[in-house]
Amino acid sequence: MIRKAEQKAAQERAAQMIAEAGIRITEEETMKIEVVDFGLSRLEIEGVQVLTMVQTDRISVKVLAMLPNQTEPEHWHPPVGEDPGKEETIRVVSGRVYFYVQGENTLKQGFLVKGKEKRYTLRHEIILKPGDQITFQPGEKHWFQARDEGAVMYSFSSVARDALDQFTDPDIVRVVQIID
Amino acid sequence: MIRKAEQKAAQERAAQMIAEAGIRITEEETMKIEVVDFGLSRLEIEGVQVLTMVQTDRISVKVLAMLPNQTEPEHWHPPVGEDPGKEETIRVVSGRVYFYVQGENTLKQGFLVKGKEKRYTLRHEIILKPGDQITFQPGEKHWFQARDEGAVMYSFSSVARDALDQFTDPDIVRVVQIID
């Protein structure tokens, strides 16, 4: 869970990072930035800030802002009814982003979240810089991380149903709970 | 048709506008910018420059760069097989964009392409500034225009099949022909 004050502070940090990355967003969008702690209550370690620009029943466009050294936990987008699952292309706008996918262990420049090594099973490292992009097929597991500079990226995808995403860490609850 | 030299010059202008709009693209992407004259051979009047960032069988992400006072002709995205047609959200990054859609005639700040008034039937004007966006449903007719400052925008959509787009102007050929 996230306290309202913490949510507001993270929204403001994310909005500033997004602006510094050269993406113009409206005041209304700033207030809609979703602050996601995955139910783990330690936002700065495992979390992400998400601005949804487009959300229809066919496509989704989000801007993801990651605080310095924040990690988005290992997850995948499962099939839902007739939908084979979300297909997603992430394109980096600012900062370097450390992605981890299936493949041999090449983890070197990123880090596993301390004490949670078993909940990050993928160790094949792909480092993207601004202007680079990577596509994940439906069901394809991945996790990613920003380092000291933080990062801003676009997520372009088929329809998103975030609440149905699946995570390696059984403690994760995707629907965020905000408290006073 | 477009001469190779004209194509190259338009690519370079578009790449510069995209960079100035704060969108970082790779050298490889610059060389892939599509210069579209709609077969009318007067690019600066009716045309558009298109960088395709993502193209899968589910979604498409493009950056559209429009030269000063360039107009993209009236068109719509028809159904194709089981696909009801392309659903498209355009989000403006730089410059103002003058959109024309179904509705009462409010055309005031944009202009009809001279001598082609019958090929631009929509006159309901919507002016978008950077950070604004508009969504077109499948089959929904639209045309748009940049003014003196030019414009850069994103097009986020379901799968794009540009060659099958339909145009009010029967002289239009969407597949571009490049000559030496």
Tokens of B105: 């005639």
Q: Which residues of A touch B91 (CB under 8 A)?
A: 53-54
- Check CB contact under 8 Å for A24 and B93: yes
Nearest-angstrom CA–CA distance, B144 and A21: 27
- Whether B137 has its CB under 8 Å from any CB of chain A: the answer is no
SS3 of A78-116: the string is CCECCECCCCEEEEEEECCEEEEECCCCCCCCCCCCCCC
Contact A26 B91 (CB under 8 A): no
- Percentage of chain B lying above the pLDDT 90 cut: 98
Measured distance CA(A14)–CA(A177) in Å, rounded:
19
Mean pLDDT for back-to-back runs of 10 residues, chain A (180 residues): 95 97 94 96 97 97 98 97 95 98 98 97 98 97 98 97 95 92
Average pLDDT over residues B8-12: 96
Chain A residues near residue B29 by CB distance under 8 angstroms: 131
Mean pLDDT value across chain B: 96
Please answer whether residues B80 and B3 qualify as being in contact, where contact means their C-beta atoms are separated by less than 8 angstroms. Answer: no
Give the pLDDT of residue B174. Answer: 87
pTM of the model: 0.96
Q: Report whether B155 contacts B92 (CB < 8 A).
A: no
CB contact under 8 A, B59 and A91: no
CB nearest B87 (choices: A24, A56, A91): A56
State how far the Cα of A10 lies from the Cα of B136, in Å rounded to an integer: 33
- Starting at the earlier edge strand, list the strands of the sheet with B88-94: B34-36, B48-55, B59-66, B151-158, B88-94, B133-136
Structural tokens at position A115? 């004490």
- Which among A23, A29, A59 has CB closest to B156? A59
Does the CB of B93 have a partner CB in chain A at under 8 Å? yes
- What are the tens digits of pLDDT across the range B51-102? 999 999 999 999 999 999 999 999 999 999 999 999 999 999 999 999 999 9
Give the C-alpha separation, A165 to A120, whole Å: 16
Give how far B50 is from chain A: nearest CA, Å.
17
Pairwise CB contact (< 8 Å): B156 & A58: no
Task: Say if the ipTM goes beyond 0.90.
Answer: yes
